[in-house]
Structure 1
Amino acid sequence: MKKNVKTALIVALSLFGTGILISLCVLFSVNFDLSKLSVNHSTAPNGEASAAPNIKAEYVEKSIEASGQEITLNLISSNVTVKPSEDGDIHISYYNTNETYFELLDKGGEITLTQRSKTNFILNFDFFNYEKYNVDISIPAEHGGDLEINSTSGDIFISEIRLLGEFDIGSVSGNITVRNSTAENISAESTSGNVKLADVETAGIDVDTVSGEISLSRIPKFIPISLETTSGEVYAEDIEAENIKVESVSGDIIITNVSGQKANLSTSSGDVDLNGADFTALIFNTISGDISGTVSGSSDDYTVYTSTLSGSSSLSAHRGRGEKTLDLSSTSGSFDIRFKN
């Protein structure tokens, strides 16, 4: 699953006005009687729509023998917690409620859990207000399959998981948290929910949000990291990255004790705060954002390139020709960088 969250949001916003007009026309055509717009969940053999499944509200527990299956969760409002299994099997528990129910499928090396609404109206936006129940899933250590989670409004929490496959996590408004876990790669996308990764081991990290905050901490492995947001703030702390790329439109970027070969930071109006950044090459591009703070080493360790039209620069008198590089460019943003041994 690879979704371009920001592109989807832009398209949705551009169509929103048209959608409102169409919705009003539809409502007017049925005299604002929403019952005439109900959509049933299945079709009878004679081709007529049948009633929604008669699934009673209850707590359900399922156990599945683990054999490296791909695991996919498609959720509306439920929060999900992923934790280690104690007996080597996969365990899934959830609540069927008066509003939603779950379909569980274990077939062809894939386990899929899908949450569905019992009141599926065309103009139903109530899924954001559904009462949140928890989905719990336990996965054994060294499980070989990928884990994919798609959520509308529920929070996602993953802890102490050792997965040989990938984490692929997406949410609209729910928060995403991954702690003390291992996976081949970690990809997380959110519209307004926050994304937090801490103490994870992986070959690569890719996080994308629109307005949600991004927080990374204690990432010890020398890996490529890509973080992208529109208006959310980005926090990166105690990280050893091979390369780190951070893109923001208006959100601020705060980097503390982060080192690596190359850092590529770009903003339109967001500011960047550096606290002991240590990179062989640090590149910063902005329109009106400022960059300030400290980089590790003496001024003689760095070769500095700066370009700004109307912003100020504390590096204008720098004459060092070191092996490290600072390359800073802006239209009206200012540069205030200090060197710290």
Structure 2
Amino acid sequence: MFMLMREDILVFTKVLMGADLDRATIFWQFRREYTEKSEREQGASTGDPTLNLHVCNRKENRVLLLGIQPSKSRPTTRRPAIMTSPVTAPVLNNTDKWIEENQKFFLPPVCNKMMHNEGQMKLFYVGGPNQRKDYHIEEGEELFYMIKGDMCLKVVEQNQHKDVHIKEGEIFLLPARVAHSPQRQANTIGMVIERDRAETEKDGLRYYIEENGASTLTTLYEEWFHCEDLGSQLGPIIKRYFASEQHKTGQPVGTIEKPPFELDSKVKLVKPFCLKHWIDKNRADMDSKGVVNMFGSNSQFQVDVFGKGENTGKCDTAEIFIWQLEGSSTVTVEGKEYAVGNNDSLLVPIGQSYTSKREQGSLSLICYQDPTRKVVPE
């Protein structure tokens, strides 16, 4: 739920019944009506409204739509809501060639390079070594895959510190609101996919008090910020921590501000698993059904692996990432054809339809992270 300021105005409440509409369609219908209403009343559009969507009755397909006009004090320097993206044309890369051309960035002090950063999807490759004490917290999910070597992801799972070891060739989905601290070794390369943040979302960077060399659950130091470029924003926060009294004394100073949201203390992490072994185990279903889902429907991430055949897709809230795992495919986006070879990837822009055709022996991993599927803490 949104915390409304006094000057915020409830524009209207509308109930849509009996129509088979997804949230993205509802959003655009609302935005059009909101803009027209603003222009009629004020002579100009006030920009995109902040939305709060609730499915009231899925069986009867009732959707309660609340539109909130932003307050006058709302910052105007942040990027647009995550429903929009500057990426307007598909982006085709060969992963092996791209890594070879950018491997110099995988070494300290940078250790990472963004492949996709302009739009809603944030996809980057990370090297090492990188040992850190800080824990990152966000409302989105992160998808990890280790291309070369192993890594350790330190997490707080169900109020306990835990090490998640992701080995070479393994894939792992980190749920939202789980504190995590990636530890990477030299001569390793990993892929990470996350998403852009809505204007209302904040990320946290947290340090925990240590006792006898082990982290506790007591916060030593933390900062919350709207994440626009994590790579450039982390540095100043880390510098402030090392210059703080908390770092010098090992004890918190004063009162730590209440965080924007609490950690998910109930979620149970699914262990990392070998992508190749998973494919071999599910290959028969891919051949017979054409597609197998990887993580279920309770995540923001939708990750499917498609076998021989044809599929069409479109997402109005996220960019779609097509990764050719085996063989080749032909992908047509808005009438333009792309030849996608082995270990190529294709980024499909928000709102653009695609058709992917695969022959026998072809496998495509197709994924996106839909922010409207985010579970709001009670």
TM-score by shorter chain over 0.5: no
Specify which structure has the higher proportion of strand.
1
User: Higher relative CO (CA 8 A, sep ≥ 6), structure 1 or 2?
Assistant: 2
Q: TM-score by structure 2 length?
A: 0.23
Computing the radius of gyration from Cα coordinates, the structure with the larger value is: 1
TM-score with structure 1 length normalisation? 0.25
**Structure with the higher fraction of residues in helix conformation:** 2
